[in-house]
Each structure stands twice: as structure tokens, then as C-alpha cells.
Amino acid sequence: MQDSKTYVEKHKKRFLNELIDLLKIPSISADSAYKKDVIQTADVVAKSLKDAGCDTVEICETDGYPIIYAHKIIDPNLPTILVYGHYDVQPPDPIELWTSPPFEPVIKATELHPEGAIFARGACDDKGQMYMHVKAMEFMTETNQLPCNVKFMIEGEEEVGSVNLATFVENNQEKLKNDVILISDTGMIAKDVPSITTGLRGLSYVEVEVTGPNRDLHSGLYGGAVANPINVLTKMIASLHDENNHITIPGFYDNVEELSKEERAEMAKAPFSLENYKKALDIDSVYGEEGYTTNERNSIRPTLDVNGIWGGYTGEGAKTVIASKAYAKISMRLVPNQDWKNITDLFKTHFESIAPKGVTVKVNPHHGGQGYVTPIDSLGYQAASKAYETTFGKKPIPQRSGGSIPIVALFEKELKSKTILMGFGLDSDAIHSPDEHFGVWNYLKGIETIPYFYNYFTALKK
């Protein structure tokens, strides 16, 4: 029988070329100018699943972009793995900071990827990682060794909040029934330090609007005599953290789970170099909540960050003006047990209450989702652990991630199954940033490792 490593070695050129073709289509879900491209990407993914051996492939229309559902059921008595991924990508802006165009993929060597990395928007998040599953499926069907049933659900709206996927999941519980959900849309610690993501943060995303005078004013004639919405907004935002960088919204920390000393000690064992971390970001110091390490700050602790702020005159030269309005987009990363709707309410109540006289403040909630943690003693985790051990020669480390995939908590609630997050990206892959890339080694290693998960999960389930 052929093993996955040999198969990957034999077909790697084609595997790379197929991914490159997929990356050429700008499937930007946030920007309606790319509607045709997003829909075309769904067609390409659907075809690839058919070619990889799925018996049934459906393009399910929604109120937004289509969801691709596919399956191969070999025996209803065998376990079923549901694979989730997304074919939409983030906008590439600021486009001028890319060293090669975001939708013209090229393979270039980097310090961490001497064998080459594919540079393109979506290379890692998530077209590249999603496509590893399509190719792993091809390997298992081509070599007649698919050990269990498999279902695929690939959506096109992850980067804009998965609103229509939530409805789809709620309405299709029987169709999506499974024993475990498998996702590659996260990262691992390093190429020689495999890890399994055991937690994701939740999210509450809001937009705030501060309105002062009914029109933009001359900053000489009126300056100092009326509230300046930009001055007010920045002061309000600054007050959301205290001198220890704790968030000041009343009730914000009420449900935050405090990890035990033992759990924190366990976390601290993961290899991490503060020096390299700072060097990679060109910063002279890290920053954050008092009493927590960098790895804790970006995984087990909730945060509040301004993602964008605007108002007044930002064009060339100077214009002496007091703006009528100022705006900001604010995200709060949440930890398990914090309810995102409750946190959104707390934010709104607090932010409106601290508005000084002379302005009105509006808070418009965008989207959000719950955080997620998964135990390391589940069958799925054990199967994943053995799969990494087989192909990396090392036991993977459990790691809680700071990112969010809000739909995962909903999967557990609606489908009653655990999600296993087998990510093969690196933090340095620049997802959502200019020059996003995905290591060729990582891509091929993912395709090699995934079939072992199928085997071990099926064996453990018996």
C-alpha cells in the first residue's frame, strides 16, 4: 500500500499548480466588486471535490455566497468526519506594500521557508489549508484507503462573519451529522514544534460614532468653544484601559475563566523567544496587561483594540477644521465563558455613559461570536496527536490561539460534536497582511498528515 508521503512526493508539482490556480481568483467576500470571483471560486472548489472522489457535491445557495457541501459515505456504520474550511479571503489592502501582486501567486524562499513559500492572498488563510484536505481526500480515494465517511462544508463568508453558514448549520443538522469536525484554519508553533490548537477567542466587533456640531467648523473661529468629536473620541477610547492595561468596562471580566497555576505553568513550557518575537516585529518592547506573559496576553486573556479611526481632514496639506463627526471600529477578543452579546451590551452601555456633554455617541454592533476550548482527552485530539507524531516524529503541544473562528462554538452547540483544529500555518505567514504566504513544506506536510487523522480516528472509534 502506498503511504501519503510517497504520494505527495510524486504529485507535489500538480498539488502546487492546482493551489496556485485557486489563489489566482480574488475571492474577497468583503468587497461586492468581487462577487463574480467569489462565486467562480465556489465552482472551482466544488469541481475539485468531485475530482477528489466525493460522490455528492452540492453548491448550496444562501442569502450570501454559496456553501459547498460534498460527501463520500462508504458505510453508515463507520464514523463520519466533517471537514470545514473557507474559500473567501481578506481584502489585500494596503496593496502597495505587497512585494508581488496578491492574486499572482509566486513561490519564493524566505528565512523560515528555504524550500519556498507561496505568496498570495489566501495562501494560508484559508485556501491553502482548505485545499490540503481536498488533496488528502484525493490520496485516500485514489489509493483505495478512505477508512471512514467524510463530509465537506466549505463556505465563502468566513472573513465577514459566517452569518449565512450559521443558518445553514441550524437548518441542516441531519445532513451535517458527524462524529468529529476537522478544520485547518489556524497555525502551529514552528515547523519543528507541531501543535494542536485547543482554543479560539471569541469576538465582539463594534463601530462607534461621535457627533458634535451639525457641520465641520473653522477651527480658529470655534476651536476651544465647542466639543471636538475627535478629541472626545480619543479621550473616551483612552479611558477604556487603566494604567495596568486592564479593560475598564464594568462587568467585562465577570465570566473570564482564570487558569490555575498548573495550567499556566504548562502553557509556559511551549518554546517561545521574546527576543525573536520583538525582532520579527521591529519593536523594542512588548506591551499589555500587567501580570501576564506575552503568550497569555494573546490567548487566554480578553482584549480591546481600535482597528480603525477616522474623521476630519486627512488629505494632503493642512485644513483648519473641527469635524462634525468622528468614528472608530473596535474589536474585543473574548475568552471562553464570556458571552459576546453580553459583552457587546456592556460596551454599548458603558461607552454611551461616558460621553461628555456637547456630543452624542452611537454604538453600532457589527458581528461577533463565542470563544472555544476543546479538551485534550477526546478521541479526536488523540487521533490528531498520533497523526502528527507519525509524520513529524514528535508529539504535538496543545496551544490556545488568539484568533477567532466564531462558527466553531456554533458547530458544537448545533451538531453536538467536537472540533479538532489541525493548523499548519506559522504566525509569520502574514495572514490578513501584505505578503501573505504559506510554506510549500507546510502545505505538503498537511496533505501527508491529514490521512493519518482519518485512520487513527476510525481505529480509536471502534
DSSP string, 365-381: EEEEE--EE--TTSHHH
Give me the least distance between CB of 115 and ligand BES, in Å please: 22
Least separation, in Å, of the C-beta of 86 and Mn ion?
Answer: 6
Question: Over the Cα atoms of the chain, what is R_g?
Answer: 23
Q: Does 185 bind ligand BES (CB under 6 A)?
A: yes
Distance between CA atoms of residues 423 and 122, nearest Å: 14
Q: Residue 363 forms beta bridges with which residues? A: 208
Task: Based on the shown chain and the rule CB under 5 A, indicate whether residue 185 belongs to the binding site for Mn ion.
Answer: yes
Binding pattern for the stretch 121-160 against ligand BES, x by CB under 6 A and - elsewhere: ----xx-------------------------------xx-
Q: How far is the CB of 131 from ligand BES (least distance, A)?
A: 14
29 binds, among ligand BES, Mn ion, none (CB under 5 to 8 A by kind): none
Question: Cell numbers 452569518 correspond to what residue?
Answer: 163
d(CA 43, CA 69): 12
Measure CA 95 to chain center.
Answer: 21
Told to check if 198 binds ligand BES by CB under 6 A, we report no
Closest CA to 153 of 71, 53, 76, 38: 71
The count of chain residues that interact with ligand BES, using the rule CB under 6 A, is 16
Residue 436 as a binder of ligand BES (CB under 6 A): the answer is no
Residue 199 one-letter amino acid: G
Cell 467524510 appears where? 150
Q: Strand 149-155 to strand 325-334: parallel, antiparallel, or no bridges (unpaired)?
A: unpaired
The three cell numbers locating residue 76: 453508515
Measured from the CB atom, the residue of 105 and 122 that comes closer to ligand BES is: 122
Q: What does the chain come to in residues?
A: 462
Q: Of ligand BES, Mn ion, none, which one sits near residue 404, judging by CB under 5 to 8 A according to partner kind?
A: ligand BES
Q: Which is nearer to Mn ion, 29 or 458 (CB)?
A: 29
Q: Which of residues 89-128 bind Mn ion (CB under 5 A)?
A: 125-126
Could you give the strand order of the β-sheet that contains 117-119, starting from the edge strand earlier in sequence?
106-108, 117-119, 437-439
Is the backbone peptide bond immediately before 429 cis, with ω within 30 degrees of 0?
no
- Considering only 100-108, 231-239, 265-273, 401-409, which stretch makes contact with ligand BES by CB under 6 A? 401-409
- Smallest separation, CB 125 to Mn ion (Å): 4
Of residues 4, 164, 401, 455, which one binds ligand BES by CB under 6 A?
401
Report what 406 binds from Mn ion, ligand BES, none; CB cut-off 5-8 Å by kind.
ligand BES
Q: HEC string of 33-94?
A: HHHHHHHHHHHHHHHHHHHCCCCEEEEECCCCCCEEEEEECCCCCCCEEEEEEECCECCCCC
Nearest approach, Cβ of 277 to ligand BES (angstroms)? Answer: 16
List the one residue from 332, 405, 444, 450 that touches ligand BES (CB under 6 A): 405
What is the residue whose three cell numbers read 472522489?
53
**Between residues 187 and 194, which has the closer beta carbon with respect to ligand BES?**
187
Question: How far is the C-alpha of 155 from the C-alpha of 456, rounded, in Å?
Answer: 27
What is the nearest approach in angstroms of ligand BES to the Cβ of residue 312? 28
Among 53, 66, 85, 161, binds ligand BES (CB under 6 A): 161
Determine the interface stretch with ligand BES among 13-21, 64-72, 180-188, 381-389 (rule: CB under 6 A).
180-188
> Which CB atom, from 89 or from 450, has the smaller least distance to ligand BES?
89
203 binds ligand BES (CB under 6 A): yes
Report the relative pairing of strands 360-369 and 67-72 from DSSP bridges: unpaired
What does 299 bind: ligand BES, Mn ion, none (CB cut-off 5 to 8 Å by kind)?
none
Q: Which residue has the cell 489549508?
A: 129
Name the residues that contact Mn ion, by CB under 5 A. Answer: 125-126, 185
Name the residues that contact ligand BES, by CB under 6 A. Answer: 125-126, 158-159, 161, 185-187, 200, 203, 401, 403-406, 431
